[in-house]
């Protein structure tokens, strides 16, 4: 799987510049030569996706590599004994299984700018420089996106779920439990004896996630928050932003003009001369809806 993943990443890195700028050409022969030692599966995918239009052919190659990567990941969702005994190994496996992740520096380009402290605004441009629209059309991304406008940001305002919003939640859970990441988590928790009896199959696990993420609890008013709202959508309270550890919500709110990126935090995710993030795990500061997030950490992509 590593060969397929690294090949897809390289192909995406060659594809996106051509997508962003029609003057940039695609040299399929050079790309294939670069990947000549990547195994027979990768070479077969190149053989199956040839054509006079090099850009179209490379798009097909990327799609085929992604499909093969997902197929291989689905065959790796059973945790090993080593992973069951080592949480770090399990976390590394989750990272490997996340085949929907965008390629940093290509499908997702961030404008880091300057570091910041204490909420000072040291970034005068947007954080998100480029996000590939095709990459964002994946089913999990589109289903997740529909959930973000279902909540009131201010703590103390009771939340209500409409029938349409409930269907959006179910649609998101339906696609989420089909991903290798969530299937692995279910099997890992089941093998570890951490799941209740009614959550040990796919149907029951969806109900378990629904209760865990979407059941409301009370902060300042009855049923004014939920785990999903706090962690992913974010909330505001006493001039501070709570939660909002999700890059898609950050993107949506910045493009709406409601989020002002202030800069990144140098004490987290930076090592020497490296960019402020490793595979875009980084901490940032931002203003949102009249409140400030002094330090917030998220995966990006």
Task: Give the residue carrying structure tokens 């269907």.
Answer: 167
- Displacement of CA 19 from its chain's centroid (Å): 21
Q: Which of 68, 138, 245, 289 is catalytic?
A: 245
Cα first-last separation, the chain: 20
Q: Enter the DSSP assignment of 206.
A: H
Angle separating helix axes 40-48 and 54-74, nearest 10 degrees: 140
Using only the alpha carbons of the chain, give its radius of gyration: 21
Q: Which of 68, 230, 240, 289 is catalytic?
A: 230
Helix, strand or coil, per DSSP, at residue 130? strand
Look up residue 70 and give its two tokens: 């997902």
Look up residue 8 and give its two tokens: 């897809």
Q: Is 245 a catalytic residue?
A: yes
Q: Is 293 a catalytic residue?
A: yes
Work out whether strand 281-288 and strand 291-299 pair parallel, antiparallel, or are unpaired.
Answer: antiparallel
Look up residue 77 and give its two tokens: 């969702």
Q: Is 230 a catalytic residue?
A: yes
The Cα–Cα gap between 186 and 123 comes to: 40
The Cα–Cα gap between 196 and 189 comes to: 10
Q: Which residues have a catalytic role annotated? A: 230, 245, 293
């Amino acid at each position: 799987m590593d060969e397929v993943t690294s090949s897809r990443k390289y192909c995406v890195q060659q594809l996106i510049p051509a997508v962003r700028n029609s003057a940039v050409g695609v040299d399929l022969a050079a790309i294939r030569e670069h990947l000549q030692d990547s195994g027979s599966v990768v070479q077969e995918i190149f053989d199956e996706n040839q054509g006079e239009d090099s850009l179209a052919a490379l798009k097909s190659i990327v799609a085929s590599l992604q499909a093969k990567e997902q197929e291989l990941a689905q065959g790796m969702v059973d945790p090993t004994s080593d992973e069951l005994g080592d949480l770090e190994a399990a976390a590394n496996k989750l990272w490997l299984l996340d085949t929907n992740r965008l390629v940093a520096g290509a499908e997702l380009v961030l404008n880091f700018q300057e570091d910041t402290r204490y909420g000072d605004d040291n970034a005068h441009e947007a954080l998100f420089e480029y996000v590939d629209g095709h990459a964002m059309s994946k089913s999990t991304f589109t289903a997740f996106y529909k959930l973000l406008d279902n909540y009131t940001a201010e703590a103390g305002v009771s939340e209500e779920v409409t029938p349409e919003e409930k269907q959006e939640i179910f649609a998101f859970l339906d696609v989420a439990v089909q991903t290798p990441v969530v299937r692995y988590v279910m099997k890992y928790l089941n093998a570890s004896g951490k799941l209740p009896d009614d959550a040990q199959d796919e149907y029951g696990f969806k109900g378990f996630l629904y209760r865990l993420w979407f059941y409301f609890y009370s902060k300042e008013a009855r049923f004014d928050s939920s785990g999903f709202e706090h962690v992913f959508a974010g909330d505001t309270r006493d001039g501070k932003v709570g939660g909002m550890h999700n890059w898609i919500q950050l993107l949506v709110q910045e493009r709406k003009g409601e989020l002002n990126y202030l800069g990144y935090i140098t004490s987290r995710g930076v090592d020497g001369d490296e960019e402020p993030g490793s595979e875009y795990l980084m901490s940032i500061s931002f203003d949102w809806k009249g409140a400030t997030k002094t330090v917030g950490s998220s995966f990006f992509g």
